[in-house]
Structure 1
Amino acid sequence: MKFSENWLRSHVPTTATRDELAATLTAIGLEVEDVTALGESLDKVVVARIVSAEKHPEADRLQVCRVDAGQGEPLQIVCGAPNARAGLVAPLAMVGAKFGDFQIKAAKLRGVESNGMLCSAKELGIDADASGLLELPDDAPIGTPVAEYLGLPDASIEIKLTPNRADCFSVRGIAYDVAAATGSEVVPFDATPVAQAIDSELKIELNAGADAPRYCGRAIEGVDPAAKTPVWMAERLRRSGVRPVSLLVDVTQYVMLELGQPMHAFDRDTLAGPVGVRKSRTGESVKLLDGREAQLDDDFLVITDADRVVALAGVMGGFDTRVTEATRNVFLEAAHFAPAAIIGRGRKLGLHTDASHRFERGVDPELPRQAIEVATRLVVGLAGGKPGPATEAVLSEALPRMAAIALRRARIARVLGIEIADAEVERILRALGMQVAASADGWSVVAPSRRFDIAIEEDLIEELARIHGYERIPTTLPSGAARIAAPSETRVDDASLRRQLVARDCLETVNYAFVDAGLLKLWGAGAGAVPLANPLSAELAVMRTRLLPGLVSALQRNVARQAGRVRLFELGNVFAAPASHGDAPLETLRIAAAVCGDARAEQWGEAARKVDFHDLKGDLESLAAASGAELEYRPSAEGFGHPGRSADVYRDGVKIGWIGQLHPRLQRALDLDTEVVAFEVDLASLAARALPKAAELSRFPSVRRDLAVLVGEQVGWAELAATVERAAGPILRDLHLFDRYVGRGVESGQKSLAMGLILQDKSRTLTDRDVEAVVAGVVEAIGREHGAKIRA
């Protein structure tokens, strides 16, 4: 936001110097990025008119001018400006005027006397334009000091605004903050309604609901099309970074900069009425002010004339209804549009306008009526014309309402660490335009309608802190007392799991939560992926649904850089689309690992071998042991897993993840020429543990019985073990698989499994009869359920 210093001071009188004003603005959160001084030291520079201009006898590019400076006898000035001509009104630096270290003196140029210097805008220090003399209006009073005529000296101040301070996209909005910070008062603003002179009006229709709850308009007929923008207005616009165009356009720009309300002026003769606001329809188009043809879908808010699209609401007006140099009848509009209805619409068309910038951040819903009256007064006062009635259409129930906020005295002290006097609290809040009513423990505060950023008590406390002064809040070191939260005994903490994998020779990685949609598709994991509205790049376009695609990609990059043995793990969230539209994505915390290369680091004590399924299964089992989890492994049908070398991981009958070797087809697609083994499980399910309970140890001896059985190759140990545990009952203390054999003596399609049963009772010593009964029951159960036979 750029504005004129003098313009701001006209709204909030203050004795602060320019440097103090800039420092104050920055201190209260309106960071000053640049201050450009304009028109300093313009003593003896006056408004003058060139009476005549003749070619210099000795120089082709110089002219000998006779200049009327309001002192009676014209002065002779030699000038080289290309636009110097008879009748031109321009600034004249008299003899004795100083520009920095340079002083104007009487001199001879190529033999011709010159008694002063006609000036460009750059020489006056008010613009960078040095292409010619600064041309002033023909009615500028000759002999008047230029500083007085142009409102100089002045400064153009540019501030950097955060998105929540949309109220400061206006001079008057900034004035409230300055008044509060400097102890001044904002000058009352005159928005008295302009009397109706004619009956001309256009009906207004609102058909966009809460997207456009207020629209104000007014017709003014008989405007002088030749009326020029006055110097004071043009200069304020220039110093605010806006180029003056024409009176009607400049008035709307001026009101927007002063009040913060974007406006638009239509040529009344191009409108038939009624004027309406509605959602656009797919296939509609409108020619904009800049000449481009905008193709619309059903997501835009448009202004219509008898249902014909004539402007993009909150973004830009239309070409066919624009005001021109021939416009005599004008229709002014000022409306309130909801930020959500404007955000991103301009960017869809490659547009960014001052109006959209403001509407996207929020404009005071009470401003349109004031803006119409102020703009009407300016147009009628500067270009004549007769105003019709101010017409307003409003959906009161859809307008934002500012609710009362309870501000507690004790809460201020608690948050800021200091006490602020009640009188100072009330002064600051009232200076910011808030309604303040005292209560038993503090105040009830209603923020002005322009302050969309104030909704809770902490927002008010922030206002007090920045205006009272952050420098007045003492810096206090922490006392050292720390509140230590006891970790839950029902869950193994993440740090312990990380340390366990690090101890097993794995390195932790941290990958982006955003991945390439094509990568997820390659893994068959694209279902339910959440796309990003504004991705950083095409390779980071969706939220990850699994950890393994990103983790294995990291492994592949390491392998491509000649790392032969890679062991990586990651702990992070995965995301899935919500069940209901509008809800947040579902997040699940998982832990994953991926390994390749040799099972052990290079050494002499053990023969080298490649890492396999059982190595990584051991790593996963070590994590499960920390929580006491008993994991079960069942054949997996995951498409990215190697058939026969991958399994789904279960705990208590619930699937919690996957472990296995990647499918060779996937490895080739990922450009991996080595076998990769990986796992990924839900962390919450893996880390959950029961509270430990003390139990009595048996005082009686245990008995071990070993069984060797023949069973079909397709029968898994987990299935067999579950049957043994059920059949053996409560006296089975432990079960070990200590041998697996296939080959000579074992039929094809069969395998021999040798297991050890540890039996023990808490109340007595087991007899041989007890043990034999249990073993017989086990043999009968596994034979019945799995076709297992005792190996001879």
Structure 2
Amino acid sequence: MKFSESWLREWINPEISSETLAEQLTMAGLEVDDIEKVAGDFSGVVVGKVVECMQHPNADKLRVTKVDIGKSELLDIVCGAPNCRQGLTVACATVGAILPGDFKIKAAKLRGEPSEGMLCSYSELGISDDHNGIIELPDDAPLGMDIREYLNLNDVIIDISVTPNRSDCFGIIGIARDISAVNNIVMKELKVDNVPATITNILPIEVNAPKAAPRYLGRVIKNINVNATTPLWMKEKLRRGGIRSIDAVVDITNYVLLELGHPMHAFDLDQIEKGIIVRYAKENEKLVLLNGNEVKLNDKTLVIADHQKILALAGIMGGEKSGVTQSTKDVFLESAFFNPLAIIGKAREYGLHTDASHRYERGVDPALQFAAMERASQLLIEICGGEVGPIIDVTNQNELPTQATIELHRNKIDRIIGYQIETQKISDILNRLGCQVEYNNNVWIVKSPSWRFDLQIEEDLVEEIARIYGYNNIPNANLKIESVMKPKPENKISLRRIKDLLVDRGYQEAVTYSFVDPKIQQILHPEQAEITLPNPISSEMSVMRLSLWSGLLDAVLYNQNRQQTRIRLFETGLRFIPDEKCEFGVRQELMLSGIVSGNLYEEHWGLPKKNVDFYDLKGDIELILSLLGCADNVLFKKSQLSTLHPGQSAVIYLNGELIGYFGVLHPEIEKKLSLNSKTLVFEINLAKISEKKIPVAQDLSKYPSNKRDIAIIVSNTVPAADIISECKKAGGEQLVKVNLFDVYQGENIKQDQKSLAISLILQDKSRTLEEEDITNIVSKCVIALQNRFKALLRE
């Protein structure tokens, strides 16, 4: 937001320097990004009037003039500007004047004619880039007056950053309110006289979208002179606010925009058929905008229309056909409150960004529409003439925002600020901010002003109190923290421990967006419903992730495209599952996900090159689950997840509950995503592995262990994990470990079968096992496998 300091001081004029003013703005939350002079450094330039203008006898493009600067003698000045003419009031640099760039004006002869000065353009004085002609001043400008004084060129332009919650500061009046509150001085009151109707002409207004447009005002103004010249003072304020002068009508609406922070729009009345209708567009309706671009609209776009066509994008930009032109005589003036939710994101959706949309997206004062209408009407009549009709007001009071009433407690203020501000001072600050305040027994009942819809809770008011009181006025104090050391529960597994383990295994942590590409997510989870964002950043980030795999796969593609041959990434974050039983219809689950691709090891002369496989990833997962201290309760089963390879994937169960998946990405998905090597993924619900079994110390057996190996033949469909589980169940406590050490398929084994070699480790804590005991345990295991899996003992 750019504005001139002098304009601000018309509203509030504290006795402080420009530098102090800038510091106050910054400390009040309106950070000053830049301060620049409105003109270059020059001197000796005064107001003059061209009393004679003749063609130069020796040059076609030059003119010889006589200029009156309020002295007894006229100045002979040669000028080459195309707009130089008799009767024009100009900026005249006299002999001895110094212009920007240390350019000194001297008396000289130009093509044989004497020249005792120079008629200046805006660019030559460093005011703007306009060099199309010399400056044209009003006829009543006092001759001989220093141009710096006349145009107030000792002013500066202040550029501030306005945070999204302070849209009230997109107008001079809002900034003045803050400076008034900070300095505790009264600002100029906003007084806008009602412009009485002189004609009865009206235009019917119909609002078919009251939630999107709770208040819509319109007024007919007839017989205006659209070609009237915008006053120089208005042009200068607009220029210093970063807005280019276009024509009187547009300049007036832009002036109100900068002064009050309220967007307005003027339509050519002759281009409106029968009346105004505020509605949502029909799908694929088209509109040619003021910038000449044609847009195809969707049915979620609010528009201003008549009974035949769309006239404008509500709160964004007008249409070309209904815009004010040089032939316009009658206008329809609009002043409306549009709900920010109806405008937000729409300008960006159509490739636009306008001053109006920037303000409406953040919200405008819902009580300002009448004042803005009267102010614009007043300026139009003064500058362009015309006859004013009555204001037509269509307001749905139930849909307008209400002013929040907040209960503010003294102890809350003291606790957050850490310093006790006097009660009367707090009440005074709240009143200065425009709030309605009642105080009783250390509690303030505060009603926020209409322009401060960001004040909704106690903390908002505490922030305002500290801001206006001045952060620099709050003394430094040693922090007093009443804290109690709480022992960390022994059975809790910290997320840091899991992350450290993965880093030790060669993984790197990634952080990806929660918003993902719907095309990639549809490939990974074709059967799952997803949450679509109403106003996405882009089409590639328009849905909430169902798993963390979408972002990690995008990261793998990025790295593979940069010739990375070993990729090991993990991420922790939320996934978002549609669930009507949960708050807002969304179930959020904290997940641990990982992805590996390429080489198993970093390139090394002593290690063979080997690509990562299913069992390498399984080993990493088993290491994570080993932190739980209950390996016997973990079970891996074949996965049916369509995202993963049907023969190289598994589901993870803990205590009979599904906690995650892992495996090789399905080849079809790898192909669709253009992955150039086998990619493996895993995902575990962190809430399911947050607690571990507390280890209990046990005596080591002093008796020897015994090992027996058996080989069995079973069907290919029998998981090895089920074999191991059955052996442990049959062997009892004396079977202390079961290990699968070989799998064989080939000669002498049927095609639909496999041979599993298993070692059984047997040991007793109270005695040495006899051979008979060992044989008995082994036999129990074999019989159990035969009964459940029809296993054959291999000789």
Amino acid in structure 2 at the alignment position of 1:649: I
The verdict on how the C-alpha distance between 1:598 and 1:268 changes in structure 2, with shifts beyond 3 A counting, is closer
| 2:192 partner amino acid | A
Number of the residue aligned with 1:290: 291
Question: 1:743, 1:392 → 2: CA distance?
Answer: 86
Instruction: Tell me if the contact between 2:597 and 2:677 (Cα under 8 Å) persists in the aligned partners.
Output: no
The 1-side partners of 2:67 and 2:600 are apart by: 95
State which drifts further: 272-281 or 606-615: 606-615
Aligned positions of 1:93-132 closer than 5 A: 93-94=93-94, 112-132=113-133
Is 1:545 aligned to 2:552, yes or no? Answer: no
The answer to whether residue 40 in structure 2 is matched with residue 37 in structure 1 is no
Identify the residue that residue 438 of structure 1 maps to in structure 2: 439
Residue identity (%): 37
- Larger mean Cα displacement after TM superposition, 778-787 or 450-459: 778-787
- C-alpha deviation, 1:321, in angstroms: 2.6
Asked if 1:682 is matched to 2:681, the reply is no
Using the TM superposition, give the Cα deviation of residue 190 of structure 1 relative to its aligned residue in structure 2, in angstroms: 1.1
Q: Deviations over 1:173-207 (max 9, x none)?
A: 11111212233221011123222322222222211
Amino acid of the residue matched to residue 17 of structure 1? S
Aligned to 1:247: 248
Pair 746,287 (structure 1): closer, same or farther in 2 beyond 3 Å: closer
Q: Which amino acid is the alignment partner of residue 396 of structure 2?
A: L
* 1:235 corresponds to: 236
- Structure 2 gaps of 5+ residues are none
Which residue does 1:7 correspond to in 2? 7
For residue 631 of structure 1, what is the aligned residue in structure 2? 634
Contact 1:249-1:265 at 8 Å conserved across structures? yes
What is the identity, as a one-letter code, of the residue corresponding to 1:266?
F
Secondary structure, aligned partner of 2:211: helix
The corresponding residue for 1:203 is: 204
Amino acid in the other structure paired with 1:435: Q
User: 1:244 & 1:600 partners in 2: Cα distance?
Assistant: 64
Matched residue SS, 2:246: coil
Partner of 1:648: 651
Q: Distance in 2 between matches of 1:390 and 1:73?
A: 55
The Cα of 1:461 is off from its aligned counterpart by: 2.3
Deviations 1:371-423 (A, max 9, x none): 11111222223333332222211111111112112233332332222333334
User: Aligned with 1:49: secondary structure?
Assistant: strand
Quick check: 2:713–2:794 contact (8 Å CA) kept in 1?
A: no
3-state DSSP class of the match of 1:575? strand
What does 1:511-526 correspond to in 2, within 5 Å?
512-513=512-513
Q: Determine the structure 1 residue equivalent to 2:27.
A: 27
Contact 1:739-1:755 at 8 Å conserved across structures: yes
Partner residue, 1:786: 789
Q: CA deviation at 1:277?
A: 0.8
Structure 1 segment 238-387 matched on structure 2, within 5 A = 238-306=239-307, 308-387=309-388
SS at match of 1:202: coil
One-letter amino acid matched to 2:462: I
Matches within 5 A, 1:372-771: 372-474=373-475, 486-501=487-502, 505-510=505-510, 512-513=512-513, 543=545, 545-547=547-549, 550=552, 554=556, 568=568, 570-573=570-573, 575-579=575-579, 583=585, 586-592=588-594, 594=596, 617-629=618-630, 630-638=633-641, 646-659=649-662, 680-690=683-693, 708=710, 710-714=712-716, 715-724=718-727, 734-737=736-739, 748=750, 749=753, 751=755, 756=760
Structure 1, unmatched stretches of 5+, are none
Partner of 1:77: 77
- Number of residue pairs aligned between Structure 1 and Structure 2: 785
Change (3 A) 1:115 1:283: same
Residues in 1 aligned to 2:685 and 2:474: alpha-carbon distance in whole angstroms:
47
Q: Report if the CA contact (8 A) 2:44-2:94 is conserved.
A: yes
Give yes or no for contact 1:530–1:575 (8 Å, CA) kept in 2: no
Q: C-alpha distance in 2, partners of 1:743/1:297?
A: 62
- Is the CA contact 2:741–2:758 (under 8 Å) kept in the aligned structure 1? yes
Contact residue 711 and residue 750 of structure 1 kept, 8 A: yes
- Which whole-Å CA distance do the structure 2 matches of 1:739 and 1:691 have between them? 30
Shift of 1:708: 4.6
Shift in alpha-carbon separation, 1:756–1:426, aligned structure 2, 3 A:
same
Code of the residue aligned with 2:402 in structure 1: it is: R
Secondary structure of 2:359's counterpart equals helix
Aligned letter for 1:88? L
Q: 1:328 to 1:487 in 2, by over 3 A?
A: same
| 1:668 positional shift | 8.3
Asked if the contact 2:91/2:119 (under 8 Å) is kept, the reply is yes
Contact residue 568 and residue 596 of structure 2 kept, 8 A: yes
Aligned residue type for 1:413: D
**1:542 CA drift (Å):** 7.6
Report the Cα offset of residue 213 of structure 1.
0.3
With over 3 angstroms needed to count, the CA separation of the structure-2 counterparts of 1:701 and 1:23, relative to structure 1, is closer
**Cα offsets for 1:657-713 (capped at 9, x unmatched):** 34556677878888999877775543433453245679x989999998969574524
Opposite residue 53 of structure 2, the aligned amino acid is A
Q: TM-score, normalised by structure 2?
A: 0.84
Q: Secondary structure at the match of 1:210?
A: coil
Task: Spell out, residue by residue over 1:26-80, the C-alpha distance to the aligned partner (whole angstroms, 9 max, x if none).
Answer: 3322222333323688887543321212244566654331223445664433434
Residue of structure 2 in register with 1:194 after alignment: 195
CA contact (8 A) 1:225 1:325 kept: yes
Cα separation, partners in 2 of 1:475 and 1:556, compared to 1, 3 Å: same
Q: Structure 1 residues 77, 571: CA separation in 2 closer, same or farther (over 3 Å shift)?
A: closer
